Structure formats: C-alpha cells, structure tokens
Structure 1
Amino acid sequence: MLVLFDQSTPVPIRPSLKGHTVETAWQRGWDKLKNGDLLRAAEEAGFEVLVTPDKNIRYQQNLEN
C-alpha cells in the first residue's frame, strides 16, 4: 500500500506501517500544497492512504469517494 504522510504527521509511527511504502509530502515536494491540491496530487500519484493530523480536513474537502 502506498501511504502519504502530511505535514506534522509523527514520523515515528512509520515502523508501524512496515510492509507498506511510506512517503512524506515534504519528500515529494508537496509540503507547500493546500489540502485540495495535496489530495489531488496524492490521488494522481497513486497514493491509497493519506495520514494527517489535520482534524478539520473532513470539513474542508469532500472525502466521500
């Protein structure tokens, strides 16, 4: 599974995802993207999961699909 860590996601949880490919928004050069643009870029790049500490993202985006 391809997993993307958003800004401020605690990197120490990475070992818990052993067996999955984990990248950060910073590694991808996406650290300055706003939520909508980040979600779009992640989807286009084939990421299946976005891990974010942003508790308000569900109110900012349509996450039904």
Structure 2
Amino acid sequence: MPAMLDENVPRAVASLVSAHGADLLPFPRTWKGLRNGVLLLHLRERGIHVFVTCDKNIAFQQHFGPLALIVLPTPKLDLLAPLAPAIAKAITLAIPGTATLIAPS
C-alpha cells in the first residue's frame, strides 16, 4: 500500500522504513506549505493510501476519508530510526479511514 511522509517528518525516514518492506515516499519538495485540504487532494490523485505524519492533531482537523493515517511520536530522526520496523508494519496493516499512533520506544 503506497504511503507518503508529511513535510514535518525527516526525508531519511522514508529509506529507513522502506528497508523494512513498506512502500514509503518522501514528501515532494514542490508540495511544501500546502494546506491540508489541498494536500489531501494531491495524495488521492497520486494514489497514496497512507499518510505518515508527526501532527498529532491532524486526525481531528480533517476528514481523511479513504486515507489511513500513521501518527509518529516525534520528528527527531534519531528517535524515529529504531521505530522503522513498527512504522513499516503499521503501513502494511493500515486500514483506510483510521489513524494509528506509533508509541515511542
């Protein structure tokens, strides 16, 4: 299931998680600063089914419809690196319309 990082997540997380078998793309630089509604349209147009973010409020601010959300505990790469297997598993098991919180280790 294709997934994309939010702009608030370090781009290096994409390769760390992809090494564990998940299809995770970095946030496109040309999309920086898009409002959530426009961002959702772009994600759907690109066939993205899972959105990975550090924004803990996003699930309550927007209706994500067919997208699944994975919410990370921090944007700090050194703290996210050990969570790469859990993030990959969450992407693989993601259910459209749900939010999954990844607990810090």
Q: Match of 1:9? A: 9
Q: Match of 1:41? A: 42
CA offsets 1:14-62 (integer angstroms, 9 cap, x no match): 2122342413132xx1112111110111111111111111111111111
SS at match of 2:48: coil
Q: What is the aligned residue count?
A: 63
Is the radius of gyration larger for structure 1 or structure 2? 2
| Structure 2 spans left out of the alignment, 5+ residues | 67-105
Matched, 1:22 2:2: no
- What is the distance in 1 between the residues matched to 2:40 and 2:62? 9
Tell me how far 1:64 sits from its aligned partner: 4.4
| Structure 1 spans left out of the alignment, 5+ residues | none
Question: Could you tell me whether the CA contact under 8 Å between 1:6 and 1:25 is conserved in 2?
Answer: no
TM-score, normalised by the number of residues in structure 1: 0.74
- What is the distance in 2 between the residues matched to 1:23 and 1:10? 8
Runs of 4+ in 1 over 4 A off after TM superposition: none
Relative contact order: is structure 1 or structure 2 higher (C-alpha 8 Å, sep ≥ 6)? 1
SS at match of 1:24: coil
